[in-house]
Amino acid sequence: MTTQSIISKSPSVSESLIRQAAEHLQQGQLVCLPTETVYAVAALLSRPPAVSQLKQIKKISGPPNWVIHLPDIASLKKIVAHPPGMALRVMKKLWPGPLAIEVPVSDADSRKLAAMIGPQTAAECIANGFITFRCPHSTASLLVLNALGEPAVMIGAGDTSAVHEAADIPEAIRNASAMVLDTGPTRYRKPSTLIRIQGDQLTFLREGILARRIIERMTDHVILFICSGNTCRSPMAAGIAALRIGGKLGIPVNELPLRRIVVDSAGLYANTGSPPAPEAVQAAADLGADISRHRSHTVTVDMLRRADLIFTMTSGHRTDVISLLPEAAVKTFNLDPDADIADPIGAGQKQYNAVARRMNELIKGRLAEIMS
């Protein structure tokens, strides 16, 4: 087979090259594609000759335990109907990225996968009741996977070591591939991290570029409230929300982290370490929430990425959040969908109380939506 090596000096490639790569795969051929960690050789799992050829050139004799590569979470849900909630939280925060996740599959899921790619290949994807999924952080590969619309496998294109540049792909693998899509050196030189999630249990199977502490932080269900200085509105909102969630679950606020629930607040323009306004402390206390130990801090991209839901006090705050992390747009909402919540600073205790009562009612409604 004559291999067409496509050389691109930037991480992006043209639509025509993406289409060509997808067409080769759909025709049952192999294609070498980039990921953020290695160059990989890909095959469409519904094409048995391609899968057999992949096993041959990679010298796989035992169970291959294929890692299914997909462009997004929606594609995963077409295979696994009910992934663990923790797995979905981690995927939403860290995909696309260098993280492979094993999740349990039901008998119905197995039958669904078998109907997609055939029973033999489906069995080669399932190991002890688990399937491993990956969504690579490579624009080129994501576009190819999206164009395919069905499960593909991608496995490192090296012989005995990882390949970080297309030029280093072994000749045998290059010659067996219909196309090599070259977008330059991989972003990382370390492997992807591999974890297993079953229910609320997280197991690390392979340490990689994403450290354990980063992934563990992403397993929490985080609700983040944002205002300007983080001394009035957002700490009151966080204190009230934590109280309401604890009440709904029948546990004290300080036990929420044991349930992997974190309610936090931050300011877009905060001075780190400032105590809450005395009026805010009193207004929250009147509703049963203690925010006296809160200290202000500035919002960071890491905080936004870790959050499952972000509530802002004004539409301007929401705009600023999205400018910091554009992908946060889908999870960022004004606490009041109809109007901004004005800053009560300097307006006296009566105004603080009014703002706290208003946020309390808004939070009751929001929590009813997310905890129903």
Three-class SS of residue 103? strand
**Which residues are known to be catalytic?**
227, 233, 343
SS3 content of the chain, % helix, strand, coil (to 5): 40, 20, 35
Run of H or E residues at 202: strand 201-206
Alpha-carbon span 288 to 237, nearest angstrom: 12
Tokens of 104: 């349990």
CA distance 235 to 278: 12
- Which residue is associated with the tokens 């929490």? 220
Per-residue b or e along 247-262, where b marks 16 or more CB atoms closer than 10 Å to that residue's CB: eeeeeebeebeeeebb
Let me know if 37 is exposed, middle or buried by CB neighbors in 10 A (0-12, 13-18, 19+).
buried
DSSP designation for 322: H
304 burial type by CB count under 10 A (0-12 exposed, 13-18 middle, 19+ buried) = buried
